[in-house]
Amino acid sequence: MSVPPSFSRATLVTTLRAAGCVFAEDEAELLLSAASSPAALALMVSRRVDGTPLEHVVGRAEFDGLRIAVGPGVFVPRRRTEFLVRQAAGLAAATGPRPAPAPVHVPGPVTAGDAPCPAPEPGPAPVVVDLCCGSGALGAALAARLGRVELHAADVEPAAVEYARRNIGARGRVHLGDLFDPLPAALRGRVSVLLANVPYVPTGDVPLLPAEARVHEPLVALDGGADGLDVMRRVVAGAPDWLAPGGSLLMEAGARQAELARETVRAAGLVPRVVTSEEWCATVVIGTRPA
């Protein structure tokens, strides 16, 4: 499709709608706000019309209140995965250090022996690991929610690791390698929350994905093998060695895969749970190491 060299807002919306963009009005607003010049806008619209994901065109995605940098060859975080982050935040809060009780006020004069005790030192920060981290969106979002974490993230794709380092920044460390392989050995048995946004699309269904994903995102972030659970099985098999007692593994899955995923988690010695949300169209599989 040919793209005009300059746009009114109405022309931009019409151009995007003709290219099949369902939310043309919203996309038009985002492109207009992101373009630094009419020439830059024309280039961005041309890329979008050619099927490049909007997030790759503007260089960012909105995720759980954060602006996540993304680019060519990097998996775009899905908004439904915010449901997983919320589940993880709830688990971390439930298993993390408890606040000290409030001091009891005793009426009367205060002597040296009655002086209030100093506030206790805060407990250790929960250890969070984000495997298959892609852009690092999940780890960054959970760290932002919890405030204080020891965060490690890992991905096998060099391009993803570069973006994850930008997005996680000083919140944690990002490692290049396959699943648990690049993680520091000192994390074994200490992980409170293990996030693993594994690929779970069955190989036979990959050609059915929208072109935005199929053409522009790395296959390794999409293809989960014959039944979609190949990478999940590898993560589940390794998780018990890395989780702390009471720590939990959280993974997204398709609704049709939930029961098989649950049994995979149970077979590894973790206590399984499946949480679903119609609002988010999301299914999260949780495995907790017995305390």
At 108, the pLDDT band (50, 70, 90 cuts) reads: very low
Element (H, E) at 61: strand 60-63
Of 106 and 18, more confident: 18
Percentage of residues in the chain having pLDDT higher than 90: 73
Identify the CA nearest to 88 among candidates 41, 131, 118, 35: 131
Strands 172-176 and 150-155: parallel
How deeply is 204 buried, as exposed, middle or buried, from its count of CB atoms within 10 A (0-12, 13-18, 19+)?
A: exposed
Point out which residues pair with 219 in neighbouring strands.
none
DSSP secondary structure, 177-233, as one string: SSTTTTS-GGGTTTEEEEEE----B-GGGGGGS-HHHHHHS-GGGTB--TTS-HHHH
Give pLDDT, residue 106.
39
Classify residue 105 by burial, with Cβ atoms within 10 Å: 0-12, 13-18, 19+.
exposed
DSSP character at residue 108: S
So what's the pLDDT on residue 237? 98
Q: What's residue 21's pLDDT?
A: 87
pLDDT digits (tens, 9 = 90+) for 264-290: 999 999 999 999 999 999 999 999 999
Grade residue 93 by pLDDT with cuts at 50, 70 and 90: confident
pLDDT at 212 over 50: yes
| Range in 103-112, 189-198, 207-216, 233-242 with the lowest mean pLDDT | 103-112
pTM metric for this prediction: 0.85
User: Does 109 have pLDDT greater than 60?
Assistant: no
Calculate the average pLDDT of the chain.
89
Torsions phi, psi of 10, nearest 5?
-65, -40
Q: Is the pLDDT of residue 169 over 90?
A: yes
Query: For residues 39 and 197, what is the distance between their CA atoms, to the nearest angstrom?
Result: 37
Give pLDDT, residue 96.
Answer: 56
Q: Where is pLDDT greater, at 41 or 248?
A: 248
Partners of 166 in the β-ladder? none
pLDDT above 50: residue 139? yes
> Angle, nearest 10°, between helix axes 38-49 and 9-18?
20
Write the pLDDT tens digit of every residue in 14-32.
Answer: 998 998 888 899 989 999 9
- The pLDDT assigned to 5 comes to 53
**Strand order, beta sheet including 282-288:** 172-176, 150-155, 127-131, 191-196, 243-253, 282-288, 271-277
Q: Which of 22-26, 138-142, 218-222 has the highest mean pLDDT?
A: 138-142
Tell me the mean pLDDT in the region 192-199.
Answer: 97
pLDDT, average across residues 134-147: 97
> 8 near 50, Cβ under 8 Å?
no
Q: What angle do CA 284, 69, 198 make, to 5 degrees?
A: 25
pLDDT of residue 4: 52
**What's residue 100's pLDDT?**
39
* pLDDT at position 279: 94
